[in-house]
Amino acid sequence: MDKQSHRHRWKELESLLDELLEMSASERNQRLCSIEQRDPELHKTLQRLLNAMDDDESFLEHGAQNIGDTALEALAEELKVHTRLVESADEADGPNDRALGKYRLIRRLGAGGMGEVWEAERDDEVMRQRVAIKILHPLVGKDAAQRFDRERHILAALQHDGIARILDAGVATGEPPYLVLEYVDGMAVTEFCRDNSLPVRDRLVLFLQVCEAVAHAHRRLVVHRDLKPSNILVDHRGRVKLLDFGIAKLLDPQEIGAQEAVTRVGLIAMTPEYAAPEQIRGEPVTTATDVYGLGSLLYELLSGSRPFDISGLSNAELQKLICDTAAAPPSSKTEAAGRADSHTGIRRDALRGDLDSVVLKALEKEPDDRYASVTELADDIRNFLDGRPVSAKASTFGYRAGKFIKRHKLSIASSVVAVTILTVGLTGFFWQAREAELQRARFESTGEFLFTLFEQVDPDLNPGSNLTAVGLLDVGAEQLERLAAGPEARVDLLRVLGVLYSKLGEREQSETLLRQAVTEAQANLPPSNNTTGQALSSLGRVLAERGQLDEAEDVQRESLEAFRIAGDFGRWPLGVAGDLARTYALQGRWREAQTALRENIDDHQSYLADDPRNLAHRSYVEALILLGELQTATDDWTTARTNLELAATTAKNSLGADHPLLARSFEALGNLMRRAGNSDEAREQLLAALQVNQQAYPRGHQATARISAAIALMDLKDGNNGDAHELYQSAVQLWETMPEGTHAERADQYEIVANWQLSTGAIDIALTTQQAALYARRLAHESLDHWDVAAALRELSSIQMAAARSADAEESRRKARAMQQRIFGKNTNPTSSEPGNGR
């Protein structure tokens, strides 16, 4: 029974139901039986309805509230955003009501499927600036905020006069995600040309400005993907500004990896009229897509109409038109020969020939057949302007031959492809070839990858870049995902990025990348390749830093084994052996650590024998310092001094008089002297360390501040108050100018400050500071047991003691001792002292 017929039959059904419901159960059964005999179909329906009536589990019983929690969630989201928008727009009681983040909304410039665009103003102590704010619809995707945060770093690197800058982004939870963009006062490029009746030459010059901006973005690996006149503005001085660069990508379902979304044409993030065939087909977007977009724009600038008229077409027709039908030459769209077009004022014969060829080449259906880059397109325009032959024309004549040569060239040029074919086999060929082609425009080599990455923070190229180092790495890590490099290069890049992350204190991210490096190395590289050992070595270091000492030990041993199998007995395995010794030390296995270090130092000496410039001097000096520090801690002062002095000499001769390791050697010597009670020499060594550090880091460094403060403390204890305060102040000033460091660095700072406060009698403040230090220490070691945390607890205990809080002091001391025992286990050392930290 379909819907229509049941509506007609409802009267009959209803009266039957009424009747049945009035009856007792037995009467009802009887009645149903007789109906069944007469009309089995009707009986079936009635039975179904009766069941429905008694169904207390029906979704109808639960009410709207439970029908779609997830759907309601989405509604909730929308209401949240609208609340803010509506509140900010409607309740204009005071200027502060209409605000989003730091920005005051002034007037709405437009609204669309993606959200709203507002003119806004930032006006605070920092700056006064007019901006455009794009407030995004929360339905652009659950992870929009995260993707935003990631992508805006990339977009922020686009610094070109022809590109409207992304100034800021709001991705706080509970707020609609928004983008703050440079406010551009201008008109669409097509309007500008029309209003000023620009001749062909001027239009082309304007177009070249557009090309330049797009090429800039392409060099920074950003594709616009939605180039159209309304996104290309010209200000009153005739300068071009591109809007919305890379923004379409933020919202593209293909980028989210939602495969099913690709098939839903309705979700493709672009303007169909200007879409390239590959966008319609749901294929990956590359720089060639922008070449198409520029071709489309040039078409409109020259002929006054778009390449395709899509009004009134169905999706299927549209798809066919854009993907299969060649565009008519722009000249054919102008009015009859010999007369100027009434819209553009351009004559048909001005376009015929070269310009037609250039536009049509940019509009080729297959990305491979278009200009290989925006620069090539621009070059051809310049050829035209200078009266030289254009390359596009040549390709129309010798089309087949040209195409053959181009294909041939591609297969030879991409050595990456050639290598992968061997390993992947033929099935992977086409995919690989396409992937490689996609990446070709982006990364000529891994070297370029790193180069472009660092270009983003190059102060000369990108003055005032606000990309942080970590942001830069995020960019790198993300680009790496898409990089189709050889397996060895990939492992190498993963490793380098991983190491950089750890240096910036982002250890979790570091560990993730390094683990990936190891996994890929073990899966894809032959045992004879020493890259595997290198990846393991870096992973081992980070694990040790994170306090995962047992695993660090395993990984470091594995690394040594990998190097042995690869036949590498050079500086890398020497360094790893030193790292392993450090891991022993951190585990409290000081005797083993010392034995391993002595062996490692011997190995270094025979390896380095004849080569003063060998890079292994670094790990040699590190091993010497660590051994010296361990010997200091075990009161083996004479040997400690010998080793540390050797470290200093070697560092100075082989690494340079301004090397941080030389400073470290002096600092370790200073600490030795201090422990040995020779404060004069301690002061001398620490001053030497300070001096080297100032040369190594002219703009200051944690170590500089740390050493200054250490000297200040010694001075204070020696009653040398004036010098002490001065030095201490210099350390504080340094800290204030430095960016906030890692947790460990901040813990160092707090401990020094607490020590100073205690020494100057500010006991209560010292207590608070040391608690902050302990907190930072715990963060640094991710709440795991660690020697440094135990040390911070002991320090806290002594300050608590000084503050006459003996119960607290006892508690802290007990915790410290327990942690120490957990760390050392059976390896508990005979002495109560600690190894100098090797940070």
Partner 1 sequence: MGADVTAILADAGSRDSAALAQVYEILYKELQTIARAQLRRLDQQTLNTAALINESYLKLIDNSRISVEGRAHFLALAARAMRQILIDYFRRKTAAKRGSFIKPVTLLEEAVPAEQRGEMLVALDDAIDQLELTNERLARVVEYKFFGGMTYDEIAQVLDISARSARLDWRKAKAWLTLELEPET
Q: From the list 28, 32, 43, 49, which residue makes contact with partner 1 (rule: CB under 8 A)?
A: 49
C-alpha 215 chain-centroid distance: 22
Nearer of residues 5 and 427 to partner 1, judged by Cβ: 5
Query: Taking CB under 8 A as the criterion, which residues in 184-243 touch partner 1?
Result: 226
Q: What is the CA radius of gyration of the chain?
A: 36
Q: How far is the CB of 251 from partner 1 (least distance, A)?
A: 5
Interface segment toward partner 1; rule CB under 8 A; list 71-79, 119-127, 320-328, 758-766: 71-79
Nearer of residues 324 and 736 to partner 1, judged by Cβ: 324
| Nearest of 356, 364, 363 to residue 334 by alpha carbon | 356
Q: How far is the CB of 72 from partner 1 (least distance, A)?
A: 5
Query: Which amino acid would we find at residue 166?
Result: I
CA–CA dist 394, 790 (Å, integer): 76
Query: Taking CB under 8 A as the criterion, which residues in 72-91 touch partner 1?
Result: 72-76, 78-80, 82-83
Contact map string, positions 9 to 48, toward partner 1, x by CB under 8 A: -x--xx--x---x-----------------------x--x
Report the DSSP pairing between strands 178-182 and 103-112. Answer: unpaired
CA–CA dist 786, 807 (Å, integer): 24
CA–CA dist 808, 397 (Å, integer): 90
Report the DSSP pairing between strands 99-100 and 103-112. Answer: antiparallel
φ, ψ at 128 (rounded to 5°) = -125, 125
Residue 172 in the binding site for partner 1 (CB under 8 A): no
Nearer of residues 279 and 559 to partner 1, judged by Cβ: 279
Tell me whether residue 708 is exposed, middle or buried, using C-beta atoms within 10 angstroms of its C-beta: 0 to 12, 13 to 18, 19 or more: buried
715 is catalytic: no
Q: From the list 30, 34, 39, 68, which residue makes contact with partner 1 (rule: CB under 8 A)?
A: 68
Cα dihedral angle (397, 403, 404, 410), rounded to 10 degrees?
150
572 and 560 Cβ atoms separated by less than 8 Å: no
129 and 121 Cβ atoms separated by less than 8 Å: yes
Q: How far is the CB of 827 from partner 1 (least distance, A)?
A: 48
Q: How far is the CB of 140 from partner 1 (least distance, A)?
A: 6
764 and 748 Cβ atoms separated by less than 8 Å: no
Q: From the list 25, 93, 107, 113, which residue makes contact with partner 1 (rule: CB under 8 A)?
A: 113
Query: Taking CB under 8 A as the criterion, which residues in 251-270 touch partner 1?
Result: 251-253, 261, 264-270
Nearer of residues 136 and 758 to partner 1, judged by Cβ: 136
Nearer of residues 113 and 761 to partner 1, judged by Cβ: 113
CA–CA dist 358, 299 (Å, integer): 10
The two tokens of residue 503 are 């240096």
Query: Taking CB under 8 A as the criterion, which residues in 783-822 touch partner 1?
Result: none
Interface segment toward partner 1; rule CB under 8 A; list 69-77, 337-345, 712-720, 729-737: 69-77
Q: How far is the CB of 688 from partner 1 (least distance, A)?
A: 56
457 and 476 Cβ atoms separated by less than 8 Å: no
Q: How far is the CB of 326 from partner 1 (least distance, A)?
A: 21
Nearer of residues 179 and 494 to partner 1, judged by Cβ: 179
CA–CA dist 450, 469 (Å, integer): 14
CA–CA dist 411, 406 (Å, integer): 9
DSSP string covering 96-139 = GGSEETTEEEEEEEEEETTEEEEEEEEESSS-EEEEEEEEEPGG
The two tokens of residue 387 are 């009266």
Q: How far is the CB of 568 from partner 1 (least distance, A)?
A: 51
Q: How far is the CB of 229 from partner 1 (least distance, A)?
A: 12
CA–CA dist 172, 149 (Å, integer): 10
Query: Taking CB under 8 A as the criterion, which residues in 645-674 touch partner 1?
Result: none
367 and 296 Cβ atoms separated by less than 8 Å: no
Interface segment toward partner 1; rule CB under 8 A; list 107-115, 411-419, 547-555, 685-693: 107-115
Interface segment toward partner 1; rule CB under 8 A; list 57-65, 145-153, 386-394, 418-426: 57-65
Number of residues that bind partner 1 (CB under 8 A): 71
Q: How far is the CB of 25 from partner 1 (least distance, A)?
A: 16
Residue that has been written with the tokens 């610094």 in this structure:
159
In sequence order, which residues have a C-beta less than 8 Å from that of residue 720 and are 6 or more positions away? none
CA–CA dist 526, 559 (Å, integer): 15
Q: Distances in Å between the alpha carbon of 723 and those of 152, 524, 697, 713? A: 48, 60, 23, 10
Helix (H) or strand (E) holding 242: strand 240-242
Q: From the list 63, 94, 387, 761, which residue makes contact with partner 1 (rule: CB under 8 A)?
A: 63
Residue 246 zone, left/alpha/beta (φ > 0; ψ -120 to 50; rest): left
Nearer of residues 260 and 460 to partner 1, judged by Cβ: 260
CA–CA dist 483, 470 (Å, integer): 19
Interface segment toward partner 1; rule CB under 8 A; list 2-10, 384-392, 500-508, 551-559: 2-10
Nearer of residues 267 and 801 to partner 1, judged by Cβ: 267
| Nearest of 640, 535, 554 to residue 598 by alpha carbon | 640
Nearer of residues 7 and 408 to partner 1, judged by Cβ: 7
Nearer of residues 169 and 621 to partner 1, judged by Cβ: 169
The two tokens of residue 215 are 């090429």
Q: How far is the CB of 318 from partner 1 (least distance, A)?
A: 7
Nearer of residues 92 and 111 to partner 1, judged by Cβ: 111
Query: Taking CB under 8 A as the criterion, which residues in 291-330 touch partner 1?
Result: 310, 313, 315, 318
Taking each helix axis as running N to C, give the angle between helix 469-482 and helix 446-455, from 0 to 180 degrees, rounded to the nearest 10: 150
Query: Taking CB under 8 A as the criterion, which residues in 125-154 touch partner 1?
Result: 137, 139-142
Q: Which of 18, 202, 226, 602 is catalytic?
A: 226
Nearer of residues 321 and 762 to partner 1, judged by Cβ: 321
Query: Taking CB under 8 A as the criterion, which residues in 416-475 touch partner 1?
Result: none
3-class SS of residue 180: strand
CA–CA dist 785, 778 (Å, integer): 9
CA–CA dist 805, 811 (Å, integer): 10
Q: From the list 24, 26, 37, 70, which residue makes contact with partner 1 (rule: CB under 8 A)?
A: 70
Q: How far is the CB of 53 from partner 1 (least distance, A)?
A: 4
Q: How far is the CB of 342 from partner 1 (least distance, A)?
A: 26
Cα dihedral angle (674, 676, 677, 681), rounded to 10 degrees?
-60
Nearer of residues 116 and 520 to partner 1, judged by Cβ: 116
549 and 575 Cβ atoms separated by less than 8 Å: no
674 and 682 Cβ atoms separated by less than 8 Å: yes
Q: How far is the CB of 83 from partner 1 (least distance, A)?
A: 4
Q: Which residues are catalytic?
A: 226
